[in-house]
């Protein structure tokens, strides 16, 4: 839903959190371009095509425990079974060279190919070995302790769909399929800068009235875990033409321009003006706290996401809006981690019609239950509050009061992409 803003200067307009997410999801078309990367470089990337297995896993029936292998047809109903023990053994990487006849058994170790003639393995602790015979107790089930061919993955089956973001577990599966390279979408090209005459780089000596730029280092770290190719444009001054030139140039060579500061209606906030006058604005305010001045639009070929300048608001806007949008550009679904209902360990009166995101941590009540406790230092500039929090509560717009024990929606910072 693009807003025709070239003929409208209504900065009071705002969208709901749900509408902002809907607009972002609707615009998030995956970038074009596929490349094949080695497994060592595939973590965090997004599959460009369905991954179809070239082989069965396991590729052969194998032994699941240390024990003795034999044919279930050798078992005597209703009692113990004595099986003649053959010389030799089957071990991982060293198959038993012969065939095991009926009435016989062979020593078999975990991971060994199942010897020919066998379909069952009995755990070594369950048997007795007496005079060259293995005594198998009653009750052993046919097929016990055997991993069947293709039990994990069948040849020709779809293992992972396109759009899967590859984690360590996915790479482990790809390796056991024998795949050394995987097809992934190219990285999303992102330009990052902060805006504001008051900002200086960490390590510099700030003049009176100047502050260190905390947002860019924080956003760089958050982006570093994503399939992104990042260009850091530094700090831009509070001059419209300078901002417009830098953002316009970046927009011609990047998929997304990500900024912090310059998105509200103040005299020195230029990003909203730039989108409204020279680009396309989809929204520029969201009915939420903190983070109301969140702007989203397009300039040249790139999307522009202008995050708030206050550090906590910038962090939450990134985690709750920019991060899922970036992942969707990279080919993954636009999605947030599920919000889990937990009882509130606090009371709060809030403004109806506005979603509030509260920093919180989980605590154990005297009754032994888990509940969410708010971090009381909640100003949008108090960045240390995020270091004290374990997660974020989403307090829905329709709620006006939260009482102790009532359910609130919890997402951990780790699930949102802000873990260590």
Domain CATH for 92: 2.170.190.11
The verdict on residue 1 lying in a domain is no
Same domain, 194 and 322: yes
Task: Give dist(CA 256, CA 189) in Å, integer.
Answer: 7
Place of tokens 């005297």: 366
Place of tokens 């490349």: 35
The verdict on residue 232 lying in a domain is yes
The verdict on residue 11 lying in a domain is no
Task: Give dist(CA 9, CA 170) in Å, integer.
Answer: 48
Same domain, 351 and 294: no
Same domain, 156 and 142: no
Same domain, 84 and 209: no
The verdict on residue 23 lying in a domain is yes
Same domain, 243 and 142: no
Same domain, 214 and 310: yes
The domain that holds 193 is classified in CATH as: 3.40.980.10
Same domain, 130 and 230: no
Same domain, 190 and 121: no
> What is residue 273's predicted lDDT score, i.e. its pLDDT?
85
Same domain, 322 and 203: yes
Q: In what order do the strands lie in the sheet with 280-283?
A: 228-236, 188-195, 256-260, 302-307, 295-299, 280-283
The verdict on residue 10 lying in a domain is no
Share the mean pLDDT of the chain: 94
The verdict on residue 270 lying in a domain is yes
> What is residue 8's predicted lDDT score, i.e. its pLDDT?
39
Structure tokens at 344: 């509130």
Using DSSP bridges, classify how beta strands 146-147 and 62-63 pair: parallel, antiparallel or unpaired. Answer: antiparallel
The verdict on residue 7 lying in a domain is no
Q: Give the domain extent around 133.
A: 62-147
Angle separating helix axes 240-251 and 271-278, nearest 10 degrees: 60
The domain that holds 158 is classified in CATH as: 3.90.105.10
Contact assessment for residue 341 and residue 331, using Cβ atoms and an 8 Å cutoff:
no
The answer on pLDDT for 248 being more than 80 is yes
Least confident among 59-68, 101-110, 232-241, 322-331: 232-241
DSSP assignment of 54-93: SS-BSSS-EE-SSEEEE-GGGPPTTS-EEEEEEEEEEBTT
Place of tokens 């530094």: 234
Residues of the chain with pLDDT > 70, as a percent, come to 95
Give 363-406 pLDDT, tens digit per residue. 999 999 999 999 988 888 899 999 999 999 999 999 999 999 99
Structure tokens at 173: 């599966």
Using DSSP bridges, classify how beta strands 104-108 and 81-90 pair: parallel, antiparallel or unpaired. Answer: parallel
Domain count along the chain: 4
The domain that holds 388 is classified in CATH as: 2.40.340.10
Same domain, 109 and 202: no
Structure tokens at 208: 């009176």
Same domain, 292 and 317: yes
| Alpha helix ranges (H) inside 109-253 | 168-176, 215-223, 240-251
Give the predicted TM-score (pTM) of the model: 0.89
Q: Which of 329, 364, 397 is the last residue of a domain?
A: 329
Using DSSP bridges, classify how beta strands 302-307 and 295-299 pair: parallel, antiparallel or unpaired. Answer: antiparallel
The verdict on residue 37 lying in a domain is no
């Amino acid at each position: 839903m693009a807003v025709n803003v070239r003929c409208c200067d209504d900065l009071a307009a705002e969208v709901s959190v749900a509408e902002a997410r809907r607009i972002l999801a609707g615009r998030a078309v995956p970038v074009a371009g596929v490349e094949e990367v080695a497994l060592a470089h595939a973590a965090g990337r997004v599959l460009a095509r369905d991954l179809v297995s070239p082989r069965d896993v396991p590729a052969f029936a194998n032994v699941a425990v240390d024990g003795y292998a034999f044919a279930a047809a050798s078992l005597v109903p209703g009692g113990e079974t004595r099986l003649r023990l053959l010389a030799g053994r089957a071990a991982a990487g060293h198959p038993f060279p012969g065939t095991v006849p009926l009435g016989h058994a062979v020593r078999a170790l975990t991971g060994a190919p199942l010897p020919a003639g066998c379909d069952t393995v009995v755990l070594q602790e369950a048997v007795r070995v007496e005079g060259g015979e293995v005594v198998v107790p009653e009750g052993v089930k046919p097929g016990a302790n055997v991993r069947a061919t293709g039990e994990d993955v069948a040849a020709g089956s779809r293992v992972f769909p396109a759009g899967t973001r590859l984690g360590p577990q996915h790479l482990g599966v790809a390796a056991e399929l024998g795949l050394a390279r995987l097809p992934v979408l190219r990285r999303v090209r992102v330009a990052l800068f902060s805006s504001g005459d008051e900002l200086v780089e960490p390590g510099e000596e700030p003049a009176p009235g100047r502050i260190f730029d905390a947002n860019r280092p924080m956003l760089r770290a958050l982006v570093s875990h994503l399939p992104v190719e990042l260009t850091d444009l530094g700090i831009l001054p509070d001059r419209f033409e300078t901002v417009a030139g830098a953002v316009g140039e970046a927009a011609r060579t990047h998929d997304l321009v990500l900024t912090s500061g310059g998105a509200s209606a103040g005299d020195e906030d230029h990003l909203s003006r730039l989108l409204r006058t020279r680009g396309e604005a989809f929204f520029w305010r969201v009915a939420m706290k903190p983070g109301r001045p969140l702007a989203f639009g397009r300039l040249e070929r790139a999307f522009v996401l202008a995050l708030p300048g206050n550090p906590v608001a910038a962090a939450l806007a990134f985690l709750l809006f920019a991060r899922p949008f970036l992942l969707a550009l990279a080919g993954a679904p636009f999605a947030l981690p599920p919000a889990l209902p937990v009882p509130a360990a606090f009371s709060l009166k809030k403004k109806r019609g506005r979603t509030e995101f509260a920093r919180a941590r989980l605590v154990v009540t005297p009754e032994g239950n888990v509940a969410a406790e708010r971090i009381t230092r909640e100003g949008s500039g108090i960045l240390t509050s995020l270091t004290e929090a374990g997660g974020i509560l989403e307090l829905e717009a329709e709620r006006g009061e939260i009482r102790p024990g009532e359910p609130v929606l919890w997402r951990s910072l780790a699930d949102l992409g802000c873990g260590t």
